[in-house]
Chains A and B, each alone.
Chain A
Amino acid sequence: MPTPLRAGLVALLLASPAALAQTLTLSFGGSGSTITSRAFSQSDCNNNSGVVVTWTVSNLGTVCNNLQVFITNSSGCPSTPDTSGTDGGTADVIIGTFSATDLLNLTGNTNNFVIRNMPGLAGACPSGVDVTNAICGSVQYRPTGATDCTTLNSSSDLSVRFDSAPPPPPIISSLLPQDSKIIVTLDPNGEADTSFYRVQYAPQLGTSDAGLNFISVPDFSAQNNSVTIGALTNDQLYVVQAFQLDEVGNVSPASTQASGTPLASNGFWAEYKDAGGHEQGGCNVADAAFPSVLGALGVLASLWWRKRR
């Protein structure tokens, strides 16, 4: 093939509709947002919280049908919304429809979609439910030079979750009584989205669990699965229980209680003092001694170096 013809073919291929891939993307909270999943608690639902979806589309040319943004409980995004529920799930809900004129703006937002209206909730905020739906987009357009319309689906699907089901109680996997403290290690008991743990402790003053006055330590991230309960009284039996909170703040039932008694112990320094050691100590290595010795040596070295030069 002569070189000018080959170049022309390449130019034609580059200019073809296949080369100019059209895109439709969805996002939460404006374009550029990287959040692809949002979760709502029962409280959020009762407060009529919702989501606004931003769509962004490349220039489609001839638009055959409106852009529809919809929520579905199908496992993936269908090419078009099924509002009859014949796909086996509940009816998909269209949360925004945008005409060819709207699409000329290349971006836009849906109205606030109240979460209680999503498939599976039927306008209510029931307890003990954990539903995740996908948010999809679909539009039909006619590529340049083509005679038939093509369906364009959103390339970045979003998900929205309503979670009013409390997680299972965590498991106290270990409880280590030490000197004036107890170290509690927790297991999420199979829960995948534990965000925080809450640990409570109470001195057991009598022989019964009745009337235990539990004190909470500050909630801590589930990334750390252990916590130290400090400032406890040695030789006192303490009862410990734990809870876990999922990503929307649902609190689990209390774990099975565990108990332990902090016991006073001697480290090397206490053992040394008990044996009659004369050392007074009191100088913190990290705070003073080590840096001061290094500093003094540094000064000596610099003086010596300057003298040599």
Chain B
Amino acid sequence: MRVGALAVMLAASAASAQTVVQIKQPPEPEPPIGFRIELKIGTLVPRVGDEPGLSSNPYETIFGNKSMLYGGGEADFIAWHGYGAVSVGFSIGYAEKYAPAIVQKDSAPSTEKTALIIFPLRLPVAYHFDILWSRYHIPFVPYAKVALLATPWRVTKGGTTEVVNGQSGAGLKWGYGFTMGVQFVLNVLSPQMAKDMRTDTGIRQTYIFAEYNYDKLDDFGKIGLNLSARYFTFGLGFEF
């Protein structure tokens, strides 16, 4: 009798007060692989004067202390995603600097322009420590890269490749480089927009970044034109 009364009371209670339980969806796990595309810009001064045996720094003589304007892009394949992410990629860039040539007779500026043009190519391997973002929603992702560098270069005067004593001012430099940087994940500014973007385009993360590059571009220590540089780049990136 008592048991039956209790059952009736419980049933009545459930019927009169309907409780809504909201279950918060856990964040979607990061997929194990993906892609990253970045556009970047910066300025750099090649360390031409570091070449042993030079009587002066020809870069400073021609261009002063002014930097080359650099722009480029990078595509990375995220090969592993666990405690952070490891990616391999390919980066292509362009940098140039123009200045008047120097008249031999009196060292006055010529009406003719000379330019140093470089096409930095790199094969970076990167590690992104994205735990802060993926686990704690702190929108900063520090990262580090190491890269193999190949940089075709060209010197022009009056619009054509400059030739001195039969030697053409163009070539290819090999080297290596290190990069340290940090991403600021823009998703945090508008989670709903980020969600829509992911649904509509597959872009799961948008970020801006700043990075410091240490490029050693001297054919692995061979004496010759030294295009090494230490410089900052900034840019915008998308992760798919």
A contact residues vs B (CB 8 Å cutoff) = 176-179, 181, 183, 235, 263-286, 289-290, 293-294, 297, 301
Q: Does chain A have a CB within 8 A of B186? A: no
Q: Is the CB of B119 within 8 A of A290?
A: yes
Q: Which 10 A-B pairs have the closest CB atoms?
A: A269-B169, A267-B114, A267-B157, A279-B225, A289-B172, A269-B155, A265-B110, A265-B101, A269-B162, A272-B58
| B55 close to chain A: CB less than 8 A | yes
> Could you pull out 5 A-B pairs where Cβ atoms are within 8 angstroms?
A263-B105, A268-B162, A278-B51, A293-B152, A297-B90
Q: Pick the contact of A269: B119, B152, B164 (CB < 8 A).
A: B164
B198 within 8 A of A: no
Q: Which residue of A lies closest to B166 (CB)?
A: A282
Residues in A neighbouring B62, C-beta threshold 8 A: 266-268, 271
Taking A275-B56, A279-B171, A283-B171 as contacts, is the C-beta distance between A268 and B112 under 8 angstroms?
Answer: no
B48 close to A272 (CB less than 8 A): yes
A281 touches B171 (CB 8 A): yes
A112–chain B nearest beta-carbon distance, Å: 50
Docked-complex contact A271 and B58, CB < 8 angstroms: yes
In the complex the two chains form, what is the Cα distance from A263 to B105 in whole Å? Answer: 8
Inter-subunit contact A285/B53 (CB<8 Å): no
Let me know if A285 and B55 touch, CB within 8 A.
no
| B67 in the interface (beta carbon within 8 A) | no
The answer, yes or no, to whether B170 is at the interface (CB within 8 Å) is yes
B104, B153, B164: which contacts A285 (Cβ < 8 A)? B153
Residues of B within 8 A of A289 (CB): 152, 170-172
CB distance from B238 to the nearest CB of A (A): 20
Chain A residues positioned under 8 Å from B153 (CB to CB):
285
Q: How many A-B residue pairs have CB under 8 A?
A: 145
CA distance A301 to B54 in the complex (A): 39
B residues with CB within 8 A of A: 48, 51, 53-59, 61-63, 90, 99, 101-105, 110-112, 114-117, 119, 121, 123, 150, 152-158, 161-165, 167-172, 223-225
Other-chain residue from B55, B104, B152, B224 in contact with A278 (beta carbon distance below 8 A):
B224
| B167 contacts A280, C-beta separation under 8 Å | yes
Question: CB distance B170 to A181 under 8 Å?
Answer: no
B152 near A178 (CB under 8 angstroms)? no
The reply to whether A281 and B158 contact each other, CB–CB distance below 8 Å, is no
Tell me the complex Cα distance, A280–B58, Å.
16
Tell me, in angstroms, the Cα distance from A273 to B119 when the chains sit together.
22
B114, A268: Cβ atoms closer than 8 Å: yes
- By the criterion CB–CB under 8 Å, are B61 and A263 in contact? no
Known: A276-B55, A277-B54, A277-B225. A178 touches B112 (CB 8 A): yes
Contacts A266-B114, A282-B170 known; 20 new A-B pairs at CB < 8 A: A183-B111, A265-B101, A265-B157, A267-B156, A268-B155, A269-B162, A273-B165, A273-B167, A275-B54, A275-B55, A275-B61, A281-B168, A282-B167, A282-B168, A282-B171, A283-B172, A284-B154, A284-B168, A285-B153, A297-B90
Known contacts A265-B104, A272-B58, A279-B171, A297 near B110 by CB under 8 Å = no
Please measure, in the bound complex, the distance between the C-alpha atom of A263 and the C-alpha atom of B171, giving whole angstroms: 27
List chain A residues, Cβ under 8 A from B155. Answer: 267-269, 272, 281
* Chain A residue at smallest Cβ distance from B90: A297
Q: Which residue of A lies closest to B112 (CB)?
A: A178
Once bound together, how far apart are the Cα atoms of A274 and B105, in whole Å?
A: 14
* Pairwise interchain contact B110-A263, C-beta atoms closer than 8 A: yes
Residue on B nearest A230 in the bound complex, by CB:
B158
Cα A181 to Cα B157 in complex, Å, equals: 12
| Interface pair A285/B119, CB less than 8 Å apart | yes
A290-B161 Cα distance, complex, nearest whole Å = 15
Residues of chain B with a CB closer than 8 A to A286's CB: 154
With A and B bound together, what is the CA distance between A137 and B133 in angstroms?
Answer: 82
Instruction: Report if A268-B169 is in contact (Cβ < 8 Å); known contacts: A178-B110, A289-B152, A297-B90.
Output: yes
Question: Is there contact, CB below 8 Å, between B53 and A179?
Answer: no
Establish whether residues B158 and A178, one from each chain, have CB atoms under 8 Å apart when the complex forms. yes
B102 and A271 form a contact (CB under 8 A): yes
Instruction: Say whether B51 contacts A285, CB under 8 Å.
Output: no
Instruction: Write out the residue numbers on chain A whose beta carbons fall within 8 Å of the beta carbon of B61.
Output: 271, 275
Shortest C-beta distance, B222 to chain A (Å), equals 9
Question: How many angstroms between the C-alpha atoms of A178 and B90 in the bound complex?
Answer: 41
Contacts of A268 in B (CB 8 A): 58-59, 62-63, 99, 114-116, 155, 157, 162, 169
Query: How far apart are the CA atoms of A277 and B61 in the complex, in Å?
Result: 14
CB distance from B209 to the nearest CB of A (A): 23
Q: How far is the CB of A76 from chain B (nearest CB, A)?
A: 49
Given A270-B164, A285-B152, A263 and B103 contact (CB-CB distance below 8 Å)? yes
